[in-house]
Structure formats: C-alpha cells, structure tokens
Amino acid sequence: MVKIKQVNVAANYAWSPAENHPVYIAAGTAAQQLDATFSSNAKLELYAVDMADESYTVKCAGTIETENRFQKVVWGSNYTDGAHTSGLIVCGTDKGNIEIYNPEKILENEADCVLTTSKHTGPVRSLDFNNFQKNLFASGANDSEIFIWDLKNPTNPMTPGAKTQPTSAVGALAWNKQVQHILASTSSLTSGPCCVVWDLRKNEPIIKVQDPSGRMQCSDVTWHPDVATQLVLSSEDDHLPVVQLWDLRFATSPMKVLEKHSKGVLSVSWCKQDADLLLTCGKDNQVYCWNPNSSPPEILCELETGAQWCFDVQWCPRNPNVVSTGSFDGVIAIHSIMGGCAPVDSANQNQAQRNKITDAFGSDAFAGEAPNQQQQQPKAKSVPLKKPPKWMRRPCAASFSFGGKLVSFGNNPPAENQHQQPNHRVVKISQVVTEEKLLERSAELRRALADDAQCTDYCRKKLADAQNEFEEDFWSFLKVNFESEPRKEFLQLLGYNKVDLKAKVSFYLEDFFRNKTVNIMAGSLHLRIRSFSSSTVSIATLPTCRNCFHTFHIPNQSNTPKSIKISRYIDSMISQALLIGDYEAAVDLCLHSNRMADAIVVAMAGGPELMEKTQKRYFEANESKISRLLSAVVMKNWGDVVKSCDLENWKEALASLLTYASPDELITLCDELGARLEKHPDLKSNACLCYICSGNIEQLVRSWNNVKPENNSNDIQDLIEKMMVLHRVVEQRSGGRSAASMGETASEKLSEYAHMLAAQGQLNAAMEMLPASSDKISIQILRDRLFHSQGDDVAGYQPPVFPFARDGVRGGQRPEAQIYSTGLYNNQQNQQRGYQPTPATQPVRSQYNQQVTSPFIAFKPPRNQMYQPAQQRPAATPNRPQDVNPYARPNQAPTYSAPQAPTSMFTPQPVSMSTPQVPGLMPPSPQPIDTSQLNMMTPAAPAPTPMGQMMQPGSSPMMQPGTSPIMPGVYPSSAPMQNIPPVSLSPLKTAKKTQISYTNRKKHKYPIQIRKKNTNVLLFHFKPPLPICPTVYSEEKDDLDTSLSDDEQSAAPAPSVQTGALKGAPKAPIPTEHQILQTQFDELIKKAMNQNNNQQIKRKLDECSRRIEFLYDKLRGNSLSPNIIGGLHQVAQSVASRDYAGGLRHHTHIVTHSNFSEISAFMPGLKSLLQIAGQLRI
C-alpha cells in the first residue's frame, strides 16, 4: 500500500458513490477536533480525486460554509431520475442535526442546504444509506436513538424498534449488503449487547450480539459484502484491540478474531468488490488489510499512517485500488493498495508538513525527535497485497491469432460449475468466419480453375448470373478463351460473325445482279484486259494477266465497251510500257489516268515491291470511310490503327486486330488499345476487354481498379475471379508467359485476397492464391506463415524460405559441442535412401543430400547416371582447366555446370530473382548478391544466417581471427572434409544462436564445404583475388533452405535465361543420358503427326513440340532438378511402353512435387502430347 495523494483537511468525510464520475471526497469539518487556528468555523468541501491529475495534493473543488461541525458524513447515490444526479450528501452534526446538501451546489460554492432536521437530541455519530433503496438512510445518535429516514418523505422518520437498554450512543450503523431490511447498530457500552441487528419488517431487534468476554467496546460494524449472515465488529478498547467476525447463525461467539492491532480499533471497511479484503485501523496508527475469510485470517498488507491515530479507513467505492485514511493530524491520505512507488513530490509534501509544524512550534520542535522522524516518513516503496485483489484477476479474454482463430477462456464462478469439469482450466480455439459468401465464391473459383471444362462451365454460369452489361461482356470474353478458336469467338462477340457476314454479302450481291446494275469496277477492268489481250502481247510474258483474262473473259464476252475510245491514247502508252516490261511506267500511267484497278493489276505483275508502292499511292489518292481499314488490312499497319483510330470505333479496331494481327502483335496492340481506352472517360471499362484479348493480367487489374474501386470483399472477389480465369487462359495459351504474367499490381491483389482468405481460416486456399513467382517480401512472409501454420506439411508445397533475418538470443552457458551434437544429423543421414556414400566424400554428399532431401525422398528414381554430376562434383578439381568443357563432356556436367548447379539446383534464391544467378560468371563484386536479401540484414541487428554466418558486409566470419580466408590453397579440394575446422561455428556467438533458434538447420554440420568448392570455382573463373563476401552470400543462399527453390526464378519459363551462358554459341547437345527423352518425345510427336489428320490436333501437336523444345533447352542447360529429370525419364519409359496413362501419372507427380515455375514452360506441352497420344492410340 502506498500513499499517492492527500487532502489537507481535518474532517469527517465520504467518497462519492461508485456511480459518480469524477470521484470526489466530501469533507465536513470534524467536530471532534480543533484545527491549529482554534477557529470554530465549519465548512463542507468537495475534493476532486482525479488520478489523471499528477499533483499530490488533492485540490478543493467547492466549499460552503456551514453552521455546525460534523460528526459523520455520508454520500448517497441518486435515487430519482431527475433532481440530484450526483446524489445527496447527508451530514450528522454535533448539535444533533441532520443536514442534507446537494453536491452540485457545493461545486458552485452555493450554501444551499436541501434539508435540515433536528430529531436527534445528541451528536449524530452514525449514518448509513440503504444499499437497495437509495432513498433510505439510518441515523444514530446518543441515547440509543436510531431513525430511518426516507428522502422522499424526510419529515417523518421511523424507528427500527424499541430502544436497546441500557441506552448508549450509537457509534455505528450498517445496512446489510444482501437483505435490504436488516440493519446493524453498535453500542459503545461494554455491558449489554455490543451490536444489535434489526429487522425493519418486524420493527424489532432480531439478534443482539454479546461478546462473551464482555469487554468489547464496539467502535464500528460492517457486513460481509456477499454473505448475508456475517459481520465484523471492531473494539476500540485498548485492552481488547480486536476485530471479530461473527456469523449470526452461530451468534454465541465470534467465528474469527482478527488480532494484530496493539491499541483500540477505530474503523473497519470491507471491500465491496472483493470480500477477501478487509481494512482496519486504530489508535496504534496502523492500517491493516486482512483476508478475513482465510483460516486463520491473514494480513495481506499493512501501512503505518504516521504519528496520529487513524480514526477512519474507507475503500473508494468507485476505484477499489484506492483507500483513504483519516487521521487526527488533519490529513485524509489516499493510498493505492497496489503498492508501488510514491509520487516524487510526496517527500516534498512531508517536508512542507514539517515546515508548517516548525513554523507553529518554532524550529526546535523536532529537535529531540530525530529517530522518530525517520519513522514518520512514509516508505518510498511499499509492498502490494500478498494476493491480488479480485478485480485484477482477469476472468476472461478472447484474442485473435493467425488464420481467423480466436483463443478464448472464461472463468465461471466456481459455484456454477461444481459438478462439471472445472471451467477455469479450459481454453477454446474457435474459427471465426465472417465472410461466408466470399469463401463460397472462392471455393467455386478454385474448383473451376481445376480444369478447362470446369472453367468453361464456370464462365458460362458467371455469364448467366451477370448483373450488368459490363460483367456480361467480361465473362463472355473470358469464356471464349476456352473455345477452340477464341479469336473468331472474340470477333463474334464484337459483332462480327463470319458466317453472318458471308450470308449478308451473298444476299447483297444477288440483289445487285438481279437489278442488272453494272459492276463498273469489274466491267471496266475486264474491258481493259480484253483490249489488252487483243493487242499483240504474248500471253506467256504476263501469266498473271492471263489468269485474269481467263477469269473475266468468258462471262463478259458479250459486253460492248463504250469508253474504249476515250482512253485509247493512254491505252496504247500503257500497252507500250507493258510491252517493254516497264511495269512501273504502266502503273504510273494507270494511276495518272485514275485507273486504279488497272494500276493494281499491273503492279501485281510487277512484283511485291511495286505492288506495295502502288497500294500506298492508291491509299494516298483515295480517302474514303473504309480506306483506313483497307490501308491497314493491306499494309498490315495495325500499330497505326491502334494509335490513331477514333476510340468510338474501338470495337472495329479490336476486331481487326483479332482478325489480322499475329499472336505476338496481338498482345502489344491490344494492350496499346486498352491503354488508350483507359484514358477515355466513358470507354475505360472496355479497356478490360482488350486486356482479356491480350491476356495482360497486370493491366487488367490496373484498369479494373480504375473502373471499379472496391469497397468490400465481394468486389475483390469479383476481380480475383476474372484475374484467375484469365491467368488460366494465358497459362494455357502459352506456358512461357504464365509466371511473368502476374505483375506487381496483380500480385498485390492476390496477396490481399490471400490475406482475406487466411483471415477466414482458409489457409490452403490462401496458399493456392499466392502468386508463386512473386518476390515481394510481403508475399513471402505470408507464404511462410501460411505454410507453417498448416503444420509444416502442406502437400504440393515445399517449405518456403524463412523471410526474416534471424536474430537469435541465447541465454545460459552451454558447450557448443552439446548444442550441435543432437541426433538430427544422423537422422538426416538415415533418410538418404538411394545413396551409399563412401566415407571419403560423405560429408559433402550429405550436404548435398540434405539440400535435396525432400524432393529426393518424395520420389525414388532409379539410381542411374543422371545423378552422377552431383556425386562427382565434390571430386571435381576446379583448377584443372581441361575439365572445363561443357560441350565435349556433357555427362560430366560438374565443371561447366558446377557454378550453376549449386545455385540453380540447391539454391532457393529467396528474394528477388529477376536475374538468374550463375556465380561462376558473375563479377566478383557485391552486386551479384541479391540486394533484397542484403536488405534483410539490418546492420544494427546483425542477422546470423542459418549457417551461423554474419551477414554484415565487411565482417565475414571468415575474417575472424584464428581462421583463414578461404582460398583454394588453404583448403585443397582433395583434403578430407572432416579436417576443415568449423570456421563459421566456433568463434561466433551469433552462429550458435541461430543454430538453436532454428533446429532443423542443425544438420548443416559441415557448412563450409560447399562454400569452399564454390570459392574454388569462382576463383577459377576469376583470377583476381576474390572478395570473400559474395561467396558468403551465395553460400548463405545455399543454406537458407533445404528445399528446391519455391522462389527460384532462374529456372522460370524463359529458356533463354537458362542458356544465357551459351549465348552466341550453337545449341549445346542434350547430355547423352537425357537424349533418350528427346528421342522418345520427338518420336511420339512424329507418330502423332502422321496418325492425325485433324487440324485442331495438329495445331496442338505443333504447340507441344514448341513447348517440349523448352525442355530440351533446360536439359542442355542442365538446369532441372534431379527429381524432375527422374520423373521425365519415367515419363519417357512409359512412352516407350506406350503406357500413356502411366506417363500422365508420372507427369502429375512431377507437377505436384516440383516448383511450378521451373517446369511450367514445358509440362503442359508434354501433358497434351501424352493425352493426344492416348487418344490416337498410337
């Protein structure tokens, strides 16, 4: 308990009721004492006890002068709906009056006494408000006078019954806390009952408590807050300074006696909020806090109040942490029962108090009391209660955790649970789902994405459900992507139907001929040709014309030319020009005489160059509504159309693109058109359609954001549905784009969506939605969290790289050997099925094995030569240049691919992978290190790596004293690995920390080996001294994860990246051990081609062959992980045995157990090849 505030007033006081805020103390000048000035003035004051106010002395908030001094002050809560909202203050005066004040008036310093009565004859020492009927209070005075007052009718008080005999002053009154009509009163007489309990219904005393010892001089009474039959009485007799706990059911002797005070006890106060807390204070200047319910009653806390008797102790009704004590030195002290440190200025206050006394008595007032002085100082620090009060004990809480889980517990009162399992022990974890609709739609979407047929149905359904035209357009555009000829369908959607058009044209033409209208164009053309052929031109020299002639000659034989004479002169010139073979001149002539058709016909004979020129001139000369279209069609200048067309005609533009543009052009042109549309205020929604045609998801998302700013989960679901369907379309259209197609905006959306799903507990779905290719740190963080929150065992996913820089803290002193000697390493080895390492290379190989453990175990390939490179790698001596010949020794990949292999096969490059890492080819500067990874290593908090390496630039662990920088000379590769000192482990505490903080890293017992090898390789490529940092970093990556590159992008679709090292050289041969793959697959394509005569399937096969080429590239680059290669070999075996279904099974296995981006370029091709082969039964 520690004093936190004080009120400098010698007064009888009352706290404001619990309902009131702010909290006040009403202090009425005490009748029983005189203050230093010997003044007989009387005041009633309000003090605002504001905990937010940091000052130590409580300020007076309102004062009124009163006529009389006070024996007792109580503050009753408001009992009406209006009038006195702060309740009423009832005061008993020394003259026998009861005065009632309105606290609100006091705050305004208005001396407005609500009521004064003078029923009592002596000083009114006791007052108490009823706990249930707030308008009732009891008052007690001398001569055993007790009145019950009703504030609603205060003129006529009642008595609880006949006066007790012998009469005495009523020192205290207390209403029962449970039963409203029970009142207890005390008598200060030792003879007779010390406490009488009245039943107001019967209007008589029901129990008279008589202390067996007969010495009890009762000063105060208070009822148990919860148990109706219990009360405590305090004795002010110095010979019996006790507090007795009585149970009225056994009223012959006290149930418990609280003995600790050394002098008479003056006041008791039982905490309403916690019945285990009872305060007592007495003439021994002590305040004790008891637990009267424990056996024996236990003192929880004590407080020395100073040099003066403490005549009163009270709990603050509103803030039970606070208790007040009134003492005869003119101070109401406010304490916190929570203990703690006294405010700084309490010492000053003490000093001030002393100064006052010194002033009054002269400077030597304290001269002889030096030892006492120390005692008077309140202790600066004080102990809180031995056991926490009830209100500190949080009974319940519900906290959210990841995945929309809510962890909750609740402690029911034991009484309710007596026969059940104790409720206080149970914690519940619940799944909170607030977006049921979203989850439903999300599940539907994911089902749709499973395969094409579903997806088409899905689009159809969406189309049917579309609420507006925009949605309708959107879904119809998406839907047709799953048709056999999406472009045609797009056209149709834009209102261009080939069949329709044909019908229209023929209808129009028939009509035309029926009306016998001369087709001037055709007519004149044929005339000219006729005249032309009638001259002496050798038909053989004009094969094209001859064809034309034939075409037109026959049907037009009978026509009689009319205009022939007019043009005769020019005709002859043209003829001449043609005769001499000067087509250009002939064309010029024709154009000049505005004979466009002739010009074109002649130009056709004159070769493509002339043709083009003529076309151009034609378009220059002719401006018609459709000439631009004509021009674009003929000149294939679609860029122009897109750039300059009137946006109102965007449909036409898009239609023409769909009809004519090549696949590559289509994408850029549609994007361009979309970009233009986006800027148009009315047409911007149509931009989305363009992006659907081009398959540009990123732009789709951006323009969508423009068109429909989202408000809720349904809006984002709307977008995600479209995105994902389009993504699937794009993926299907070309494997190469799939990974790249999720741009930043799209990734962000997906990540937002994944967050939403995760928040609803759909962890797996969220994981599926996360863009696999994104290197954004926020996505990596979410992926890591999603993965591990599903229990480290998510089918189809490899453990993601931990996206944070680890910052281990270790306590205790443990020998490192112990730390590292767990069984994990051995376990790891036991898992190495398929390998029988020889002792000499064991460490190295185990390192490799650990790296590939999961994929390797997931799938047991035959032990064939494809694993040789890995096995040989440790033995490869990088300093022997003759080994470096990737072309001559394809199956000895090590030397060529060693620099690459560690990165691409074993280095899940955790962060941004925009550039593939080929360490051997990188400049030896810090640049090749992934900068985003560097970013994660905060300089202030050095981040040890899983291998225990400092990532701080410039402080490579290898530079530690006592260890040598790694140089080939220092660790020749032939040296037994075991001899290499664990450089990274011993000197570094951080290393130690990490090893522990991440137990599954413990297996890296020999972290140095790969690094050494890499170093060697690097050195081999770069003769100049190698900075050690890059090596460390690249090593770091090796160890960051045992998995194969969830994030690995270097193997991602663009095959050119893989073969980047070979640029300028012809394609390398496929390593011989993998040539079987090429043979088998190519053979199969060929067979299928021969068997098939369906155009659609042929196209598919072309696509397969194109895609499988990516595979070959990867094989050449040696950039596929062994499990994928193994799987492919199994596919090839199945192909060889014509077991296509088996092949598909192997295919599925690869797809589900590998990194998508690594294989996405070719696996779809392989799949459809197998499917076709199955269909064709070849």
Partner 1 sequence: MVSVINTIDTLHEDMIHDAQMDYYGLHLATCSSDRSIRIFEVKNGTQRLLSTLQGHDGPVWQIAWAHPKYGKMLASCSYDRKVIIWKEQDGQWIKLYEYADHDSSVNSVCWAPHELGLILACGSSDGSISVIKHHGENQWEATKINNAHTGGCNAVSWAPAVVPGSLIEPPSQNQQNTFVKKFCSAGCDNLIKVWSDKDGRWEEVEKLQAHTDWVRDCAWAPSIGLPCSKIASCSQDRQVIIWTSDESTGGQWTSKTLNEFDDVVWHVSWSLTGDILAVSGGNNKVSLWKEKLNGDWTIVSDIGKGQPGSTE
* Strand boundaries in 218-282, DSSP class E: 218-223, 230-235, 242-247, 256-259, 265-270, 278-282
Minimal distance, residue 1080 CB to partner 1, in Å = 43
The residues near 185 (Cβ < 8 Å, ≥ 6 apart) are 126, 138, 140, 146, 160, 164, 170, 172, 173, 174, 195, 196, 198, 221
Asked if 406 is part of the footprint of partner 1 (rule: CB under 8 A), the reply reads yes
From 426, 970, 975, 1141, residue interacting with partner 1 (rule: CB under 8 A): 426
What type of residue is 556?
N
| One of 42, 170, 194, 322 touching partner 1 (CB under 8 A) | 322
Find the distance separating the first CA and the last CA of the chain, reported in whole Å: 93
Give the position of tokens 């996405």. Answer: 1160
Using CA atoms of 391, 392, 398, 403 in order, give the dihedral in degrees to the nearest 10.
Answer: 170
CB of 14 to partner 1, least distance (A): 19
Cβ neighbour number for residue 536 with a 10 Å cutoff: 7
Q: Does 59 bind partner 1 (CB under 8 A)?
A: no
Read out DSSP for 636-683?
T-HHHHHHHS-GGGHHHHHHHHHHH--HHHHHHHHHHHHHHHHHSTTT
Site residues for partner 1, 878-937, by CB under 8 A, read: 932, 935-937
Question: Given the complex with partner 1, which of 377 and 408 has the nearer CB atom?
Answer: 408
CB-nearer residue toward partner 1: 250 or 400: 400
- Find the length of the chain: 1178
Which one of residues 83, 365, 407, 566 is an interface residue with partner 1 (CB under 8 A)? 407
In the list 348, 430, 541, 914, the residue contacting partner 1 (rule: CB under 8 A) is 430
Of the pair 32, 778, the CB lying nearest partner 1 is at 778
Cβ nearer to partner 1, comparing 366 with 409: 409
Write phi, then psi, for 245 (nearest 5 degrees).
Answer: -105, 120
Beta-ladder partners of 281: 267, 287
CA gap 676, 643 in Å, rounded? 8
Residues 6+ apart with CB under 8 A from 269: 222, 278, 279, 313, 314, 315, 323
Q: How far apart are CA 1071 and CA 866, in angstroms?
A: 9
Residue among 402 and 887 whose Cβ is closer to partner 1: 402
Which of 132, 250, 361, 400 is close enough to bind partner 1 by CB under 8 A? 400
788 is a contact residue toward partner 1 (CB under 8 A): yes
How, if at all, do strands 11-15 and 286-291 pair? unpaired
374 interacts with partner 1 by CB under 8 A: no
Q: Which of 41, 431, 714, 1000 binds partner 1 (CB under 8 A)?
A: 431
Using alpha carbons only, what angle is made at residue 938 by residues 964 and 752, rounded to the nearest 5 degrees? 135
Residue of 1060, 1172, 1153 lying closest to 1107 (CA atoms): 1172
Q: Residue 692 region, left (φ>0) first, then alpha (ψ -120 to 50), else beta?
A: alpha
Q: Is 335 in the site for partner 1 (CB under 8 A)?
A: no
- Interface residue with partner 1 among 397, 503, 539, 858 (CB under 8 A) is 397
* Binding track, positions 976-995, relative to partner 1; x by CB under 8 A: -------------x---x--
Decide whether 926 or 1142 has the Cβ nearer to partner 1.
926
**Under the criterion CB under 8 A, does residue 649 sit at the interface with partner 1?**
no
- Binding of residue 418 to partner 1 (CB under 8 A): no
CB of 53 to partner 1, least distance (A): 8
Q: Which among 935, 895, 834 has a CA at the least distance from the CA of 1020?
A: 895
- Interacting residue with partner 1 among 730, 759, 779, 1120 (CB under 8 A): 759
Q: How far is the CB of 1029 from partner 1 (least distance, A)?
A: 17
Task: Assess 566 for contact with partner 1 (CB under 8 A).
Answer: no
Question: In the bound complex, what is the minimum distance in angstroms from residue 635's beta carbon to partner 1?
Answer: 47
For residues 269 to 308, the per-residue mask of contacts with partner 1, x marking binding by CB under 8 A and - elsewhere, is: ----------------------------------------
* Interface with partner 1 in residues 792-831 (CB under 8 A): 802, 804-812, 814, 818-819, 822
Among 161, 343, 861, 987, binds partner 1 (CB under 8 A): 343
Q: Which 3 state secondary structure label does DSSP give 556?
A: helix
Among 203, 377, 411, 745, binds partner 1 (CB under 8 A): 411
Q: Is the CB of 467 or the CB of 818 nearer to partner 1?
A: 818
Give yes or no for residue 947 binding partner 1 (CB under 8 A).
no
396 binds partner 1 (CB under 8 A): yes
Quote the least distance from Cβ 751 to partner 1, whole Å.
10
Closest CA to 484 of 29, 1094, 1122: 1094
Instruction: State the binding string over 16-55 for partner 1 (x if CB under 8 A, else -).
Output: -----xx---------------------------xxxxx-
d(CA 1105, CA 1169): 8
Smallest gap from residue 36 Cβ to partner 1 (A): 29
Q: CB of residue 764 vs partner 1: minimum separation in angstroms?
A: 13
Q: By C-beta, is 318 or 680 nearer to partner 1? A: 318
Alpha carbon distance 77, 86 (integer Å): 7
Determine if 938 is a binding residue for partner 1 (CB under 8 A): yes
122 vs 343, beta carbon nearer partner 1: 343
994-1023: contacts with partner 1 (CB under 8 A): 996-999
**Beta strand pairing call for 242-247 and 256-259:** antiparallel
Question: What residues from 1068 to 1097 belong to the interface with partner 1 (CB under 8 A)?
Answer: none
Contact region with partner 1 (CB under 8 A), list: 332-340, 540-548, 878-886, 966-974: 332-340
Q: By CB under 8 A, how many residues form the interface with partner 1? A: 99
Q: What is the Cα–Cα distance from 951 to 930, expressed in whole angstroms? A: 12
Least separation in angstroms between CB 1046 and partner 1: 17
CA distance 607 to 658: 28
For residue 877, the one-letter residue type is T
Binding mask 434-473 for partner 1 (x = CB under 8 A): x-x-------------------------------------
**Number of neighbours of residue 563 by Cβ within 10 angstroms:** 11
803 or 1143: whose CB is closer to partner 1?
Answer: 803
Contact (CB, 8 A) for 590 and 602: yes
499 contributes a contact to partner 1 by CB under 8 A: no
**Is there a contact between 808 and 993 (Cβ–Cβ < 8 Å)?**
yes
Tell whether residue 415 is a contact of partner 1 (CB under 8 A): no
Question: In whole angstroms, how close is the CB of 704 to partner 1 at the nearest point?
Answer: 18
Where do the H-state alpha helices sit in 834-929?
A: 842-858, 868-872, 893-897, 901-906
Instruction: Please pick, from the candidates 355, 401, 544, 594, the single residue that binds partner 1 as defined by CB under 8 A.
Output: 401
Choosing from 420, 421, 467, 838, the residue that interacts with partner 1 (CB under 8 A) is 421
CB count in 10 Å sphere of residue 538 = 8
Minimum CB–partner distance for residue 774 and partner 1 (Å): 14
Please, what is the minimum distance in Å from the beta carbon of residue 314 to partner 1?
16
- From CA 311, how far away is CA 332, in angstroms rounded? 10
